[in-house]
């Protein structure tokens, strides 16, 4: 069985990187086996990659619903448990519900969205990651696995498409 090596192709601009992604697709590298590392966030449409689905919006909506339930309990539940009649005022106050309701909905939404970002981003991560210092200078890196005997074929193809360098890389714990 052939040894697998992880290659890193470094590009100075986005256009050659997008063409290289298409070339890697032609050469048999799937999107799930390819990582694009960049200091600038590019949309999946720009890179020609599939859209990534995330659970953050569903978690945020669930947090908003929990906030609404909490607000309803604070405004209607507590006065129902402990009624306090004060000089002609209603036991169940409606105008304060708008303020407390909004605040509790937003608190639940933001709290669950924050937690969802940690879950979706798999943070904290203790597994080894590929890091290239040139990314901080605006470069774009493509990281993908390939067999040892096809390494020179991938290297020649990517350098002909505008890669500054193509080299084997090893994941390190950051």
Which DSSP string do the residues of 101-163 spell out, in sequence order? HHHHHHHHHHHHHHHHHHHHTT-S--S-B---GGGGGT-EEEEEEEEGGGHHHHHHHHHHTT-
Contacts of 71 (CB under 8 A, 6+ apart): 97, 100, 101, 103, 104, 105
Facing residues of 168 across strands?
A: 7
The confidence score (pLDDT) of residue 160 equals 95
State yes or no: pLDDT of 173 exceeds 80. no
> What is the band of 168 on the pLDDT scale with cuts at 50, 70, 90?
very high
CA distance 53 to 70: 29
Instruction: Domain ranges for the chain, please list them.
Output: 4-52+125-168, 56-120
Whether the pLDDT of residue 11 is over 60: the answer is yes
For 17-34, the pLDDT digits (tens) are: 999 999 999 999 999 999
Average pLDDT of the chain to the nearest whole number = 91
Write phi, then psi, for 13 (nearest 5 degrees): -135, 165
Q: Once rounded to an integer, what is the mean pLDDT over residues 148-157?
A: 92
pLDDT tens digits for range 69-127 = 999 999 999 999 999 888 888 888 889 899 999 999 999 999 999 999 999 888 888 88
The whole-number pLDDT of residue 74 equals 94
CATH of 4-52+125-168, one of 3.40.50.10490, 3.30.70.120, 3.40.50.720, 3.10.20.30: 3.30.70.120
Q: Which residue has the tokens 């879950």?
A: 119
Whole-prediction pTM: 0.73
Structure tokens given for 156: 């020649």
How many angstroms separate the CA atoms of 110 and 63, rounded? 8
């Amino acid at each position: 069985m052939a040894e697998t090596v992880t290659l890193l192709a470094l590009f100075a601009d986005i256009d050659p990187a997008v063409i290289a992604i298409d070339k890697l697709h032609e050469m048999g590298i799937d999107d799930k086996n390819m990582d694009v590392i960049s200091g600038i966030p590019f949309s999946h449409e720009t890179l020609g990659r599939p859209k990534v689905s995330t659970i953050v919006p569903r978690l945020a909506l669930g947090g908003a619903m929990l906030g609404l339930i909490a607000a309803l309990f604070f405004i209607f539940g507590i006065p129902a448990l402990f009624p306090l009649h004060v000089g002609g005022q209603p036991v169940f106050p409606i105008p304060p519900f708008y303020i407390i309701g909004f605040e509790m909905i937003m608190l639940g939404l933001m709290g669950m969205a924050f937690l969802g970002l940690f879950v979706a981003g798999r943070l904290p991560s203790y597994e080894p990651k590929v890091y290239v210092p040139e990314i901080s200078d605006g470069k774009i890196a493509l990281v993908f696995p390939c067999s040892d005997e096809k390494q020179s074929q991938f290297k020649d193809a990517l350098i002909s498409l505008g890669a500054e360098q193509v080299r084997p890389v090893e994941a390190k714990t950051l």
